[in-house]
Structure 1
Amino acid sequence: MSQDTPCIAVCMIDPTTKLCFGCGRTLPEIARWGGMSRDERLAVMDGLASRMNDAGLPAMARKRG
């Protein structure tokens, strides 16, 4: 099974937006990640760049596993 992930090992949560500075996910998303279907993970990942942009957080390099 593929472990598609946006994680880039920069695991810090922005206190204002509650988003991870590295990947843009919320803590609940990170906690559920392993239990999500691949389609759910891909759907979250598809929105991360705009989520980070909307929150005013810097875009970091993204990877897909």
Structure 2
Amino acid sequence: MAKDIENPCVSLCQLNSELCVSCGRTREEIRKWRGMKRPEKMATVQRAAARVKALLKKSAKRGCGA
């Protein structure tokens, strides 16, 4: 397993209030990323992925007229 956790940033920063809708991280998580230890980064990546999945699901529902 790689020692470093890859940054989830996709270089399409689109902050919607406190959340980047591109990578799923909060402003605070983005700000603290470089100083986070490996376990914190792993947890952040997991939370961000779940947020992006929820955002995609929500936008898919809106696109279907729901």
TM interval, shorter chain, is 0.5 to 0.7
Q: String of CA shifts for 1:12-52, please: whole Å, max 9, x gaps.
A: 1013xx21021010111100000000110011111222223
Structure 1 unaligned segments of length 5 or more: list them: 59-65
How many correspondences in the alignment? 56
Structure 2 counterparts to residues 38-57 of structure 1, below 5 A: 38-55=38-55, 56=58
Give the fraction of aligned pairs with identical amino acids, expressed as a percent: 34
Aligned to 2:14: 12
Structure 2 unaligned segments of length 5 or more: list them: 61-66
Q: Hey, what's the Cα distance between the residues in 1 that align with 2:26 and 2:59?
A: 13
More strand by share: 2
More helix by share: 2
TM-score by length of 2: 0.67
Q: Hey, what's the Cα distance between the residues in 2 that align with 1:13 and 1:30?
A: 11
Indicate the RMSD between aligned Cα atoms, in angstroms.
2.2
Q: Of the two, which has the highest radius of gyration? A: 2
TM-score by length of 1: 0.68
What is the one-letter code of the residue matched to 1:11? Answer: C
